């Protein structure tokens, strides 16, 4: 380990720029840099737990979504969206974890989205890897990188095909239990039940997670209109808290401002009910003003043409501020978030947190690094006012600014939603195209 | 090494899906997959050189731009844009090389953009790393990953602050020579002079590169209007070929369709002059219909609000087809390209190349993997017609679809363009804001 | 009078194409055409009153707004918006009445918007014409044209500066009374209180109008959020019906679909209260998805840059159908409506009404007249599917599709809203520009 | 005649506000107002001819297009676009003439567009009115209104179906001759050959018009790419001048800025050829950045969904300035122009012309009349900076900002373009829909 002068001074602490080499024997040139307090007594002795942090009002920064980020890097298949890359390409998953850590994340969420056994073998997804293998590999990678900085490991479960196929409460809970067994064996720091469209299934998940004694967070993928059975955000939150979740909120499906609005409604509901909870938000990094209740899945651009909707880093700073002002303290991201989006959240909240993330060594706050650009008119953009006021063009004059969501009005239990192991047949596709045409005509 | 059945059959060859473990001793689970011919005699014995490939009409797929991709991952600073990450965070650079390789790239370009000594110490960029260190590390990483697949290593030089500051031809050439010495010592496969706004400086670069005996490619960052001195694309190309470049074209600054149009003009110029050359194109992954001669640097969104302009994978397929139809055979990308963009190029040209890239194991051609999605209306999107016809919305109703470029009309030799080691002062910034206001008022 | 064969057959009646010459002595060639039933017994003997029509479920088509249409023709000044043209340029007002009649309007509304004495002399508007002169001239012109077809005359009053300046109920009512005296003397067929932002003032107006024994309609310029004191549309409607209005609804301030939605809320309120009424709607001809409670006045484009928002005739047909389906039977327009917009309403409801308007002799339904165009690709557009599916471009790539409304949160009684006779001083303008800057910064 | 004090002082002349009553016997209340010099000696004795005006550098303001304006008012049928309203509804045509006069027009162009005999009877357009009747009525109306102010009468001919159907030069010229005979008998002040897509046919028209000894203007409906046979604007202009036209330029088909650019190219051509001419421009009032060579006919929005493209009055002021700066002195409009658009041209050039148009009594320059608005934030908009900087929203978030033009590549002589008397059959429409589908697929 070697320190590189000069040391920055920030927030009444002298910081120290450190390079460390995780694989130093093999690759002496590999170095990761971050800042730590210069004086021993300023250094946190052991990591604080998630509730310890939230109870003292600390900001906890989450990570971004892995399935979308790794899809773009070539390791996750859109459609099944299953996380086998932890086994097949661990270097890619590890690198993404590191980038989020370096960007300011305090949570390394295990890459176990849709890693329940029923989902892994759905619709012809012939993986030949067991759920257990995948969940274990994901835990190991999250822990490895969490150890490189001030981050906790969270084990995550998400909604199951079993629920949509009307399996019993016991069967659905057994599905969660299988993932949970790995998490406990691997000793994750806390648990997250995330991405639930029906609050009922999320309650079941919380029941199972709660049984372990670990802290439990629960997030639904809903907007201000509530879950797919029209349970309002406030009522959803109350039910989750009563089921045992200490942290509640939303993730995925809607853009940041819509998600903050939804969590506000949850907070009001919890307070009205005389209950107490912490709140969290992990939205999309896509603008979705045109979504209906079901969120971005229904947008015609999902999932392969969402590019024009991607938030800028400045949009992210606005989001972080809005979330903070709404009293939310666990602030992260979901699909579409890249490391620089998380860094923007961390930069916006640098004053509240007392430090900048490591990756800010490569980013001047509010674009100040542009004062080193060769072109003078680009140097003139090295300031907050410029970027705050800019309304960025799409470069797509033949495209609209909003779409009409699809959504066929089918819900839990509908034949087209039932899971099965066989691949989708040509006949089924023809049937779907018919339905698509009909839905379009009636729009 | 273990093979995984079933083996696909494609283009009259039986292919073989292979997993190999580069670091097998340490991490037995780490596996990278790609397809190779099933029969020994179908396997290429040794790698063909760049000219050998192009002379036989083979498609060569380039990689994407590193500075933008790594800026988003937290390893490059926008403003100076210098490539020290090869030394400080090699794991991040290596991972990006691997993703491009996996996506179909045949060229691992050394991450040496703006790695000339004069640029490294410009405007307060206090790196404490020598140009030699950076160039060497970049060569090692490119070679390491090139060895993992069918890719060549290309050493790259780009335009220099020295030229803009009116240094002599000898001084500018000496700057190129320093980078080149490393490339030769590290034995790269061929050389690229890229990102030149003035054909004159590119000619000087070609002279230097040519002296090594390695194949030389040269690309300008110009559009159909020509270089910053108004030399037409056709004339530029002729001058580069006469200077000794075997491959000529454009990179950066404009969107794919504009770049293809520009290379077409170059090709016409070369043919009119009775010369012969191969052609290459490495455009932006941003839509830039509103650019003027100087390209995307002048757009108000550069570099921190370009998100709404990012091309989809379907735009990329259209680009790859257009480039191929124009007779261009070296087809890659520059700023904004992510691995999935290169994969889209490789998928579009799979018939011509005879195989799909490794990363296509995680992507159904034309979105066919969506037939495994849980929602039926998303399954209905698993086909070419859907994505080809979609006009994606920006989700930004208060933003325009085109901007007015800035550009202050200053050129080579102007005081505001001269490089210096000192950081930009507050007084200079104030002067620039004045000029910005003036430019806006007269727009 | 001469008839021109052939006679069309429509809706179980044989129709007769008639030309009549209003000024036949002077200009024998001047002819106006419309269709009437071929058989005497199908011809309506005398005009039915407004309630008679609505009670039998007949569709009544209103006219369009006069101030905006005549502003574009050069006869009304934007800012004061007062209707002195009835006195100074009667030929222009008469012509516009005729165009609406010819387009299908059943109501010639007197051009008396903002023709109360207090408004006429507001803020330096030195007209030298009395309110009585203007109201009388307006009644004469409306009656003259109503006599040329199947239309009724409606006398209209609108909100007063007196109310905004906190004058007493008696004073405000006296202001309405002065206009009403003219209407009664000129024997209009019914009365309309329109364009009220506060339901309280509208109630006062209804009280005054009701005292005459004529049928009374009342429309507020509100949207789904209710009046400026947040009284909901349902409650507003109930109060207006209780005050004595037989017909209630909304006009101006919002686009057609928003207005239909608001009237639906009114209808639900009236039905919930166990009351009975007829419903009317006279919206803007501008798309206003970005409006807040105060409507289009707050949009930055008001009133001189609304062009890109103008509805097409096809948008109008959609509106007419939606209004009809919502149970609204008095369907007209307000600011932005041109004669062809009203014709589109009449064409959409031709089946329900049993005939096409006279002006449809110059318009093929759903664009069918294009089959006579010289260019074959334009002839291919002569059908419903083409126009229904078209998403028209703005031709303005540097403009957004939505704006952020201004609105400074000032309401009735605020110093800046008080009326006075003096022109706005330069000092006042400077004060306003300060406020504008502040409002923008906090947006 | 009665004068109304106070008299304004403007441009070193004391002006006099005059009301006069054209139909005073019938309607004593009908008054039209305009300003005239207060002193006798400042009053122009007789009207100056068109060349006399242009030779002294005076600005001549044209009128706007009649077919589109009267289509919206209900008197012209889109598709055939023929001008029979001069006979059937003279009051409507007269009123539009008056509005343009009042807005500042110096030319009352006879409403004789497409009034050649071959066009009047095309494709089932069964009018039962002779070309002679229509042309005579149009001349009378133009003269009547021209007499009410400082305007000249121009007789206009336009391109013929005969030419498109490959009739001989003699036949085409005979068609023009028939209209011309009426113009001479009615003694118009000068002649305009307008709306020609092929310069050859325009030359033929100029030959015929020139034979009368009247001044001749000629405008093509082309853009910078030249006529449909690719003759460049410069070459077109030279040919027209050589054929005898004293005034040349363009009208219709493209937006104002594109038309100004085209006339600039014409001017350069004429000057390069050592010739002399005056220049005129009468563009669309629609933004058409997305047009190809054939102009707005090819845009999918033509003719029934062009609304979002309509220019604001501020766009018009910019146009008038650009035209003036380009050395064009005859500045008017074509399809889409409403009276307020012409007023905006006249207001922009008020300093150059020395006076404001009559209609400006109802319009404060640069929106200054808004200082009389009741809402303070609208009063804050009463100034030039506000309107100049505004980028108006379309209110249409699901629509694009640009379209792709259709255009099937068929030209003069193609079977689908040949004129015939019979209406278009259902079979022909089916054939056209097939072609439309094919054109779309290959776009």
Alpha-carbon distance of B99 to B122, in angstroms, equals 31
Name the residue in chain C with its Cα closest to that of D358.
Answer: C74
- The shortest C-alpha distance from B308 to chain C (Å) reads 14
Question: pLDDT of A44-98, one tens digit each?
Answer: 457 999 999 999 999 999 999 999 999 999 999 999 999 999 999 999 999 999 9
Interface test with A, best of B304, B336, B337, B405 (most A CBs within 10 A): B304
| CB within 8 Å of B139: residues ≥ 6 apart | B110, B112, B153, B155, B182, B183, B186, B188
Residue with tokens 């379009």: A440
How crowded is residue D171: how many other Cβ atoms within 10 Å of its Cβ?
14
| CB within 8 Å of C401: residues ≥ 6 apart | A400, A401, A402, B397, B398, C394, D393, D394, D395, D396, D397, D399, D401
With beta carbons under 8 A apart, name residues in chain D contacting C141: none
- The shortest C-alpha distance from B283 to chain D (Å) reads 23
A427: part of which helix (H) or strand (E)? helix A426-441
Q: Is A288 on the interface with D (CB under 8 A)?
A: no
Structure tokens at D73: 């008012």
How far from B263 is each of B51, B106, B215, B310, B329, CA to CA, in Å? 19, 20, 20, 21, 11
Alpha-carbon distance of C347 to C361, in angstroms, equals 11
- Find the CB nearest C395 among D92, D290, D406: D290
C15: part of which helix (H) or strand (E)? strand C13-20
How far from B161 is each of B118, B136, C131, CA to CA, in Å? 7, 21, 75
Q: How many residues does chain D have?
A: 443
Task: Inform me whether the pLDDT recorded for D38 exceeds 70.
Answer: no
Give the mean model confidence (pLDDT) for residues A396-419. 84
With beta carbons under 8 A apart, name residues in chain A contacting C391: 400
Which residues does residue A331 pair with via DSSP β-bridges, in sequence order?
A: A61, A281
Check if the beta carbon of residue B401 is closer than 8 Å to that of residue C402.
no
Alpha-carbon distance of A323 to D345, in angstroms, equals 51
With beta carbons under 8 A apart, name residues in chain D contacting A397: 290, 400-402
- Find the CB nearest A400 among C391, C397, C398: C391
With beta carbons under 8 A apart, name residues in chain C contacting B402: 397-398
Helix, strand and coil in chain A, % to nearest 5: 45, 15, 45
Residue with tokens 């909003």: A402
Closest by CA position to A145, among listed A32, A221, A262, A11: A32
Question: pLDDT of D396-434, one tens digit each?
Answer: 999 999 999 987 777 777 777 777 778 888 888 888 888
Cis preceding-peptide flag for A6 (omega within 30 of 0): yes
Task: Inform me whether the pLDDT recorded for A435 exceeds 90.
Answer: no
Alpha-carbon distance of C275 to C242, in angstroms, equals 9
Structure tokens at D120: 């009047």
Closest by CA position to D206, among listed D101, D283, D277: D277
Burial of D333 (0-12, 13-18, 19+ CB in 10 A): buried
Name the residue in chain A with its Cα closest to that of C443.
Answer: A389
Residue with tokens 């602490």: A13
Strand, coil or helix: A201: helix
How does residue A41 score in pLDDT terms, banded at 50, 70 and 90?
A: low
Q: Is A382 on the interface with B (CB under 8 A)?
A: yes
The pLDDT of residue C163: 93
Question: pLDDT of C249-280, one tens digit each?
Answer: 999 999 999 999 999 999 999 999 999 999 99
- The shortest C-alpha distance from C111 to chain A (Å) reads 39
Alpha-carbon distance of C122 to B238, in angstroms, equals 73
The pLDDT of residue C41: 52
Q: Flag the least confident range among B217-226, B409-418, D13-22, D170-179.
A: D13-22
Q: Do B290 and C400 touch (CB under 8 A)?
A: no
Cis preceding-peptide flag for D402 (omega within 30 of 0): no
- The shortest C-alpha distance from D15 to chain B (Å) reads 36
Q: Is B399 on the interface with C (CB under 8 A)?
A: yes
Alpha-carbon distance of A333 to A100, in angstroms, equals 11
Alpha-carbon distance of A303 to B289, in angstroms, equals 25
Q: Is B394 on the interface with D (CB under 8 A)?
A: no
Handedness of CA D349, D353, D358, D363 (dihedral sign): positive
Chains contacting D (3+ CB pairs below 8 angstroms): A, B, C
With beta carbons under 8 A apart, name residues in chain B contacting D397: 393, 397
How does residue A137 score in pLDDT terms, banded at 50, 70 and 90?
A: very high
Check if the beta carbon of residue A255 is closer than 8 Å to that of residue A288.
yes
- Find the CB nearest B394 among A27, A309, A340: A309
- Find the CB nearest D398 among A397, A398, A403: A403
The pLDDT of residue A126: 75
Burial of C2 (0-12, 13-18, 19+ CB in 10 A): exposed
Instruction: Please name the residues between 221 and 250 in chain A that touch chain B, using a CB distance below 8 Å.
Output: none
Alpha-carbon distance of B286 to A246, in angstroms, equals 43
Q: Is A397 on the interface with C (CB under 8 A)?
A: yes
- The shortest C-alpha distance from D397 to chain B (Å) reads 6
Could you tell me which residue, A409 or B269, shows the higher pLDDT? B269
Check if the beta carbon of residue B332 is closer than 8 Å to that of residue B62.
yes
With beta carbons under 8 A apart, name residues in chain B contacting A379: 424, 428-429, 432
Chain A, chain C: beta-carbon pairs less than 8 Å apart: 12
Residue with tokens 């001469």: C2
Percentage of the residues of chain D whose pLDDT score is greater than 90: 75
Q: Do B302 and A378 touch (CB under 8 A)?
A: yes
Structure tokens at D399: 């629509």
Q: Which long-range contacts (CB under 8 A, 24 or more apart) does D16-20 make?
A: D17/D361, D19/C88, D20/D148
Q: Do A397 and B393 touch (CB under 8 A)?
A: no
Q: Is C147 on the interface with A (CB under 8 A)?
A: no
| CB within 8 Å of D263: residues ≥ 6 apart | D233, D249, D250, D279, D280, D281, D323, D326, D328
- The shortest C-alpha distance from D196 to chain B (Å) reads 31
Structure tokens at C272: 């919930």
Average pLDDT for chain A: 89
Alpha-carbon distance of A64 to A336, in angstroms, equals 8
- The shortest C-alpha distance from C315 to chain D (Å) reads 9
Question: pLDDT of C124-177, one tens digit each?
Answer: 777 789 999 999 999 999 999 999 999 999 999 999 989 988 999 999 999 999
Helix pair D313-325, D256-272: axis angle to 10 deg: 10
Chains contacting A (3+ CB pairs below 8 angstroms): B, C, D
Check if the beta carbon of residue D330 is closer than 8 Å to that of residue D249.
yes
- Find the CB nearest C287 among D343, D369, D396: D396
Question: pLDDT of B306-344, one tens digit each?
Answer: 999 999 999 999 999 999 999 999 999 999 999 999 999
Check if the beta carbon of residue A400 is closer than 8 Å to that of residue D397.
yes
The pLDDT of residue C36: 47
Q: Is C32 on the interface with D (CB under 8 A)?
A: yes
Which residues does residue C264 pair with via DSSP β-bridges, in sequence order?
A: none
Average pLDDT for chain C: 89
How far from C155 is each of C138, C179, C181, CA to CA, in Å? 9, 9, 11
pTM score, whole prediction: 0.88
- Find the CB nearest C397 among B397, B398, B400: B400
Interface test with A, best of D398, D403, D405, D443 (most A CBs within 10 A): D398
D101: part of which helix (H) or strand (E)? helix D90-103
Alpha-carbon distance of C247 to C220, in angstroms, equals 12
Q: How many residues does chain A have?
A: 443
Percentage of the residues of chain A whose pLDDT score is greater than 90: 76
Task: Cite the DSSP H helix spans in C147-198.
Answer: 161-164, 169-185
Can you tell me the ipTM of this complex? Answer: 0.89
Check if the beta carbon of residue A304 is closer than 8 Å to that of residue B340.
no
Alpha-carbon distance of A97 to A94, in angstroms, equals 5
How crowded is residue A29: how many other Cβ atoms within 10 Å of its Cβ?
17
Q: Do B397 and D400 touch (CB under 8 A)?
A: no
Give the mean model confidence (pLDDT) for residues B85-95. 97
Check if the beta carbon of residue B308 is closer than 8 Å to that of residue A395.
yes
With beta carbons under 8 A apart, name residues in chain A contacting C398: 393
Q: Do A380 and B286 touch (CB under 8 A)?
A: no
Q: Do A400 and C401 touch (CB under 8 A)?
A: yes
Q: Give the start-end residues of each E strand in C209-314.
A: 216-220, 247-251, 278-282
Give the mean model confidence (pLDDT) for residues B33-52. 63
Check if the beta carbon of residue A395 is closer than 8 Å to that of residue B255.
yes
Q: Is B397 on the interface with D (CB under 8 A)?
A: yes
Check if the beta carbon of residue C76 is closer than 8 Å to that of residue C70.
yes
Q: Is B400 on the interface with D (CB under 8 A)?
A: yes
Compute and round to an integer the Cα radius of gyration of chain B: 22
Check if the beta carbon of residue D71 is closer than 8 Å to that of residue D78.
yes
- The shortest C-alpha distance from A397 to chain C (Å) reads 6
Alpha-carbon distance of A121 to A431, in angstroms, equals 23
The pLDDT of residue B41: 52
Structure tokens at C196: 């009220």
Name the residue in chain B with its Cα closest to that of C393.
Answer: B401
Distance of CA A191 to the CA centre of its chain: 14
Q: Is B395 on the interface with C (CB under 8 A)?
A: no
Burial of B2 (0-12, 13-18, 19+ CB in 10 A): exposed
């Amino acid at each position: 380990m070697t320190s590189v002068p000069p040391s920055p001074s920030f927030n009444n602490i002298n910081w120290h720029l450190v390079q460390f080499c995780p694989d130093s024997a093999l690759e002496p040139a590999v170095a990761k840099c971050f800042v730590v307090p210069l004086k021993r007594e300023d250094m946190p002795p052991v990591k604080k737990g998630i509730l310890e942090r939230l109870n003292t009002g600390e900001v906890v920064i989450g990570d971004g979504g892995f399935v979308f980020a790794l899809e773009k890097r070539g390791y996750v298949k859109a459609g099944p969206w299953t996380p086998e890359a932890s086994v097949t390409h661990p270097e890619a998953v590890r690198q993404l974890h590191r980038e989020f850590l370096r960007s300011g994340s305090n949570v390394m969420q295990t890459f176990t989205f849709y890693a329940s056994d029923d989902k892994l073998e759905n619709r012809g997804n012939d993986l030949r890897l067991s759920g257990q293998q995948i969940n274990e590999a994901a835990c190991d990678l999250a822990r490895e990188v969490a150890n490189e900085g001030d981050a906790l490991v969270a084990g995550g479960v998400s909604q199951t095909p079993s629920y949509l196929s009307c399996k019993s409460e016991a069967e659905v809970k057994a599905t969660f239990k299988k993932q949970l067994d790995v998490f406990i064996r691997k000793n994750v720091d806390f648990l997250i039940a995330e991405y639930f469209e029906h609050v009922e299934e999320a309650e079941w998940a919380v029941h199972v997670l709660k049984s372990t004694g670990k802290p439990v967070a629960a997030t639904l993928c809903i907007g201000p209109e509530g879950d797919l059975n029209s349970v309002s955000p406030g009522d959803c939150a109350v039910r989750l808290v009563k089921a045992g979740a200490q942290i509640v909120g939303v993730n995925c499906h809607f853009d940041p401002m819509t998600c903050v609005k939804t969590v506000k409604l949850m907070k009001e509901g919890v307070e009205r009910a005389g209950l107490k909870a912490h709140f969290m938000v992990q939205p999309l990094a896509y603008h979705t003003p045109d979504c209906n209740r079901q969120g971005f899945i229904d947008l015609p651009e999902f999932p392969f043409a969402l590019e024009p909707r991607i938030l800028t880093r400045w949009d992210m700073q606005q989001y972080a501020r809005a979330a903070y002002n709404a009293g939310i303290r666990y602030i992260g991201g979901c699909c579409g978030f890249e490391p620089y989006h998380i860094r923007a959240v961390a930069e916006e909240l640098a004053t509240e947190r007392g430090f900048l993330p490591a990756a800010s060594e490569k980013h001047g706050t509010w674009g100040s690094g542009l004062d080193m650009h060769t072109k003078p008119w680009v140097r003139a953009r090295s300031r907050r006012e410029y970027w705050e006021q800019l309304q960025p063009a799409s470069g797509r004059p033949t495209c609209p600014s909003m779409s009409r969501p699809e959504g066929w009005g089918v819900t839990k239990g509908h034949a087209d939603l039932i899971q099965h192991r066989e691949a989708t047949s040509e006949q089924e596709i023809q049937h779907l195209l018919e339905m698509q045409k009909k839905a379009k005509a009636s729009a």
